[in-house]
């Protein structure tokens, strides 16, 4: 029996959660969330975690499973998600992966190169170097340790340079020697369902969702975690703008407008990423029955 992973993806606010619950109910299976922020148990309102009543309808994984204090990454997500999929596929033939974190979805579907886990002390030291001495200092080191990667990397993006340096320093080998960029074999078939809608309507939904978050107490939630504002997990739309407001850098109204704008930008960025993936089958969120039929037919073809 061929195992099938249904991937539900699309821009933030398009309606992925509702559809994935429908799909999971129809195929009598469970949902793995692929959302780099809903994974943190401390965050709920600003990350638009589905309400408990929805989470109870179907078993959900990797929502609220980690802490904002934990280091987390796409490769850890790959590992976590594959482990859970393995469990689900012991009893079921179908599983649903849903969320908008493009890189995380890609790590599960295509895999990610094998690299040593990042030493957090080394990272902290390099970040300090970057802040003190600037990007040029990092570039020079990378040019020496990995000229091949140096010639292809975006030299203005300090995170790329920094990560390559981490690997070079930890292993003594050039980062580029680890970059296989090969698609990994998976013990399951994948059906990608992309949800999209008219851009204007999507933006309107996003704006309204932000207003709702504010009514539901986003300001309180953000205030609670303001002391942790330097954590990467809190470098997140919905929180960082409110932190600026707490510091008197903006008014509340400006902060809310910025949350809306940054959410719209995020949605656009997601669409840019998804656009280049020819495996995605695009639908409107309202086409629930068409989607279920489409998936069911695909599964029958493979059997």
Partner RNA sequence: GGUGCCAUAGCUCAGUUGGUAGAGCAACGGACUGAAAAUCCGUGUGUCCUUGGUUCAAUUCCGAGUGGCACCA
Residue carrying the six token digits 């504002």: 229
Contacts of 1 (CB under 8 A, 6+ apart): 93, 303
DSSP 8-state symbol, 40: B
Tokens standing for residue 291: 């989607």
Residues that bind RNA (CB under 7 A): 12, 35-38, 46-48, 72-76, 100-104, 110-118, 123, 127, 154, 156-160, 162-163, 179, 181-182, 199, 203, 232, 235-238, 261-266, 268-273, 275-276
Shortest approach of RNA to residue 49 CB, angstroms? 8
Please state the closest distance from residue 71 (CB atom) to RNA, in A. 7
**Closest distance between RNA and the C-beta of residue 231, in Å?**
9
Q: What is the 3-state secondary structure (H, E, C) of 183-225?
A: CCCCCCEEEEEEECCCHHHHHHHHHHHHHHHHHCCHHHHHHHH
Question: Is the CB of 69 or the CB of 275 nearer to RNA?
Answer: 275
Asked if 10 and 100 touch (Cβ cutoff 8 Å), the reply is: yes
Give the shortest CB-68-to-RNA separation in angstroms: 11
Q: Which is nearer to RNA, 141 or 236 (CB)?
A: 236
Nearer to RNA, 155 or 299 (CB): 155
Q: How far is CA 124 from CA 119, 163, 213, 243, in A?
A: 9, 11, 33, 23
Which residue, 12, 34, 47, is CA-closest to 105?
A: 34
Identify which of residues 188 and 266 has a Cβ nearer to RNA in the complex: 266
Shorter beta-carbon distance to RNA: residue 12 or 29: 12
The Cα 88–Cα 215 span in angstroms is 37
Considering the complex, state which of residue 23 and residue 49 has its C-beta at the smaller distance from RNA.
49
Q: Is the dihedral of CA 71, 74, 80, 84 positive or negative?
A: positive
Minimal distance, residue 129 CB to RNA, in Å: 11
Question: 22 or 37: whose CB is closer to RNA?
Answer: 37
> Nearest distance from residue 290's CB to RNA, in Å?
24
Name the burial class of residue 56, with classes exposed (0-12), middle (13-18) and buried (19+) by CB atoms within 10 angstroms of its CB.
Answer: exposed
Q: Is the dihedral of CA 120, 125, 131, 136 positive or negative?
A: negative
Cβ at position 288, least distance to RNA in Å: 23
Q: Least distance to RNA from the beta carbon of 205, Å?
A: 13
The Cα-based distances of 206 to 1, 81, 257, 287, 301 in angstroms read 40, 28, 11, 20, 37
Q: Is 60 exposed, middle or buried (0-12, 13-18, 19+ CB in 10 A)?
A: buried
């Amino acid at each position: 029996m061929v195992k099938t992973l249904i991937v539900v993806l699309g821009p933030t606010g398009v309606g992925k959660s509702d559809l994935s619950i429908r799909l999971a109910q129809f195929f009598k299976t469970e949902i793995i969330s692929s959302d780099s922020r809903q994974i943190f148990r401390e965050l709920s309102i600003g990350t638009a975690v589905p309400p408990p009543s929805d989470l109870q309808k179907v078993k959900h994984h990797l929502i609220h499973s980690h802490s904002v204090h934990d280091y987390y990454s796409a490769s850890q997500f790959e590992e976590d998600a594959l482990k859970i999929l393995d469990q689900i596929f012991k009893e079921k033939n179908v599983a649903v992966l849903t969320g908008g974190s493009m890189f995380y979805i890609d790590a599960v579907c295509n895999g990610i190169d094998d690299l040593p886990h990042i030493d957090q002390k080394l990272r902290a030291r390099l970040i300090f170097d970057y802040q003190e001495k600037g990007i040029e200092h990092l570039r020079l080191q990378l040019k020496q340790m990995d000229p091949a990667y140096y010639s292809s990397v975006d030299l203005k993006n300090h995170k790329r340079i920094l990560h390559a340096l981490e690997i070079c320093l930890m292993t003594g080998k050039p980062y580029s020697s680890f970059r296989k960029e090969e698609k990994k074999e998976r013990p399951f078939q994948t059906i990608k369902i992309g949800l999209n809608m008219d851009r204007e309507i999507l933006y309107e939904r996003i704006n309204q969702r932000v207003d709702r978050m504010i009514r539901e107490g986003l300001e309180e939630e953000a205030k609670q975690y303001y002391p942790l504002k330097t954590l990467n997990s809190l470098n997140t739309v919905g929180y960082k703008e409110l932190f600026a407001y707490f510091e008197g850098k903006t008014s509340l109204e400006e902060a809310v407008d910025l949350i809306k704008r940054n959410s719209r930008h995020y949605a656009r960025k997601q669409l840019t990423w998804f656009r280049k993936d020819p495996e995605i089958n695009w639908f409107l969120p309202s086409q629930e029955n068409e989607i279920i039929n489409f998936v069911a037919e695909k599964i029958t073809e493979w059997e």
